[in-house]
Amino acid sequence: MPNKTKDKEEITINHKKMPLNSRKKISKRLSYYLRHNPKKIGMTLDDEGFSSITINELAMRMKIPVDTIIEIVETDPKGRFSIKDNRIRANFGHSHPVGRTIWEKKPPTSRQELPPLLYHGTRYRFWRRIREEGLKSRSRQFVHLSTTIEWAYLVGKRLVQNPIILAIDVEKALQSGATFWIASKSTVLATSISPECLKLIDDESRRKKASYD
């Protein structure tokens, strides 16, 4: 199970300590503005998803030190954000339409670069619909898949206490027309995944090893 004690630990920024739970809250706020609702904080996103305001201005509006934003970008274990020319973007996870244009401008990841299996954590009650319809992006621009069972379990834990884990046969998915992009070491984005490419798995021993970086 994920190690919840890490929320009580601290990181140091400019000789000042910040609890990790505070960092997670700030990261969630950044994700909300950059993935879903940039207008909420008075900015827009360009065609590559970068903010119309600088990270200095964003930090001022969020009432946090700019070094906090930089530290979150540089240490995020899933590579959620990037900074370019003093502007910031979310690399994936958008409901905002820009999330699709970011990745569709890039060549898809080749079969040789992908693992044979990818994973997806979700609620058990969704399984009947998924095995009939496959995995679809729904409110987001892409289906989010994980590179390991552990990561899939952690993602699923955000939805439900005991998520189920689905394995995706990458070769079958490619043959059925799916396209993949590697977004980070733990996350792969995909177009919809057909039902025949999915298998429900249960690996409790490996779930227990899951922990946050």
Number of domain units in the chain:
2
**What is the gyration radius of the CA atoms in the chain, in angstroms?**
18
Residue 178 DSSP symbol: -
The amino acid sitting at 64 is I
Place of tokens 């739970």: 21
Same domain, 145 and 183: yes
Distance CA(88)–CA(53), nearest Å, equals: 9
DSSP E strands in the chain: the ranges are 10-13, 16-19, 81-84, 87-90, 117-122, 143-146, 164-169, 180-182, 187-190, 198-201
Its pTM stands at: 0.63
What CATH number does the domain containing 77 carry? 1.10.10.970
Contact 143, 117 (CB under 8 A): no
Tokens of 84: 């370019």
Per-residue confidence (pLDDT) for residue 19, from 0 to 100:
54
Same domain, 86 and 133: no
Per-residue confidence (pLDDT) for residue 206, from 0 to 100:
46
Per-residue tens of pLDDT for the chain, all 213 residues: 444 333 333 333 333 445 555 888 899 899 999 988 999 999 999 988 899 999 999 999 999 999 999 999 988 878 889 899 999 988 887 877 776 677 777 788 999 999 999 999 999 999 999 999 999 987 677 899 999 999 999 889 888 888 999 999 999 999 999 999 998 888 999 989 999 999 998 655 444 444 333
Alpha-carbon torsion (159, 26, 92, 112), positive or negative = negative
> Which phi and psi angles does 119 have, rounded to 5°?
-135, 155
Same domain, 73 and 133: no
Distance CA(168)–CA(145), nearest Å, equals: 9
Per-residue confidence (pLDDT) for residue 21, from 0 to 100:
55
The string over 125-156, giving b where at least 16 C-beta atoms fall within 10 Å of a residue's C-beta and e elsewhere, is eeeeebeeebbebeebbbbbbbbbbbbbbbbb
Domain coverage including residue 198: 107-207
Same domain, 73 and 121: no
**Closest to 182 measured CA to CA, from 85, 112, 121:** 112
> Which phi and psi angles does 3 have, rounded to 5°?
-85, 100
Same domain, 145 and 76: no
Same domain, 74 and 127: no
SS3 185: coil
Query: Is 80 a member of any domain?
Result: yes
